[in-house]
Amino acid sequence: MRIEVNGVEQDLSPGTNLTGLLSQLNLTPERVAIELNMEVVDRKQFDSALKEGDKVEIIHFVGGG
Amino acid sequence: MTFTNAQLERYSRHILLPEVGGIGQKKIAKAKVFLVGAGGLGSPAALYLAAAGVGTLGIIDNDVVDLSNLQRQILHSTQTLNQPKAESARTTVSRVNPDVQVIPYQDKLTSQNIMQLIEGYDYILDGSDNFATRFLVNDAAFFLKKTLISGSIFRFEGQVTVLKPTIGPYPCYRCLYPEPPPPGLVPSCQEAGVLGILAGTIGVLQAAEALKEILGIGNTLGGRLLIYDALEASFRTVRVPKVANCALCGPNPTITELIDYEVSCSLPLH
């Protein structure tokens, strides 16, 4: 299954969800915001499966100044 | 308002731009910008906004200048070590441009004082170093219908966006980040490393967005988040939509008053 993560195409096994994708990328869910096809995803929906052609933007929680 | 000959000369490279001109330069001279933090982001932003001739700069910071600040906080110097940052900022800014009225606040922003402090300003520029302040500033700016220019940095990554949910179909900070991250998950401000130059890049971008908002020119970062990766030398812009059921700026808000969160600082990337 081909999806786009931060503008870069990636091959994922079918059925992968956002939690699985974050885990593959070694990212902690509480430390990021995610947009799926231009919509901000509620943290409670990170378990819904991704599908072919999805566009995912992972945005780090950055708070320093 | 009439410019003196010296001011016409000082701002001539702005006035020469058709998009600015004398009218635009007067808008800049009348503008009041409130800077949250005189640190890494507030430093370059204050310097460029002052050089640009912004009429009034309010600068709030509760800290004193520490040696470890000087790698990136260019408002301060070896000569102003141990001085309150707000005062050190005023000294530096006044040297750059005495036309600018600098109002230093040696204070910490809280739910108790923020509304009163920012009420008289047109634009808020957030360069704070913790999420508690970021959410407080976002919420207060929303309640007072102020445009907020938000910047943040951590390690090698910086983010900039313009938040003006009461002015058009734009998101607020909570549309992207509904709640602060759990405090236990983050290192303290002092533990977090940051490439000093990153503060300059992001702070100057914030100043650019503030000037564009003042002048009403170009496409500002309303509804878009600009992400800069210094290691990759790459800029990425992500569209940030307004969230229909946002707890703050949505039609049925559950957040109707200011919240003092526990202070938590930046996050590691992994």
Instruction: Kindly list the averaged pLDDT for each block of 10 residues, start to end, along chain B of length 270.
Output: 96 98 98 98 98 98 97 98 98 98 98 98 96 96 98 96 96 95 67 91 98 98 97 96 96 97 60
The pLDDT score that the predictor gives to residue B264 is 61
The pLDDT score that the predictor gives to residue B189 is 57
Answer whether residue A33 is part of any domain: yes
The pLDDT score that the predictor gives to residue B268 is 47
User: Are B185 and A38 a contacting pair at CB < 8 A?
Assistant: no
* Backbone region of residue B57 per phi and psi (left: phi > 0; alpha: psi in -120 to 50; beta: other values): beta
DSSP chain B: ----HHHHHHTHHHHTSTTTHHHHHHHHHH-EEEEE-SSTTHHHHHHHHHHHT-SEEEEE---B--GGGTTT-TT--GGGTTSBHHHHHHHHHHHH-TTSEEEEE-S---TTTHHHHHTT-SEEEE--SSHHHHHHHHHHHHHTT-EEEEEEEEBTEEEEEEE-TTTSS---HHHH-SSPPPGGGS--GGG--B-HHHHHHHHHHHHHHHHHHHHT-S--SBTEEEEEETTTTEEEEEE-PPPTT-TTTSSS-S--S---PPP-------
Classify domain B12-239 at the CATH superfamily level: NAD(P)-binding Rossmann-like Domain (3.40.50.720)
The pLDDT score that the predictor gives to residue B199 is 97
Rg of chain A over Cα atoms, rounded to whole angstroms, equals 11
Is A14 a residue whose pLDDT tops 70? Answer: yes
Partners of A65 on chain B (C-beta within 8 Å) are 37, 39-42, 126-129, 151-153, 199
Q: How far is CA B151 from CA A17, B4, B71, B73, B258, in A?
A: 30, 34, 18, 15, 21
- Which residues form the domain of A41? 2-60
| Per-domain residue ranges of chain B | 12-239
Q: B24 — contact with chain A (CB < 8 Å)?
A: no
The pLDDT score that the predictor gives to residue B262 is 82
The interface predicted TM-score of the complex, written ipTM, equals 0.90
Total tally of structural domains belonging to chain A: 1
Answer whether residue A56 is part of any domain: yes
Mean pLDDT for the stretch of residues A23-33? 93
Minimal CA separation from A23 to chain B, in Å: 10
User: Are B182 and A30 a contacting pair at CB < 8 A?
Assistant: yes
Report the CATH number at residue A51: 3.10.20.30
The pLDDT score that the predictor gives to residue B265 is 56
Q: What is the pLDDT of residues A29-59, one digit of tens each?
A: 988 999 999 889 998 899 989 999 999 999 9
Answer whether residue A65 is part of any domain: no
Question: CA-to-CA distance for B40 and B199, rounded, in angstroms?
Answer: 5
The pLDDT score that the predictor gives to residue B1 is 85
Minimal CA separation from B265 to chain A, in Å: 6
More confident residue, A43 or A3: A3
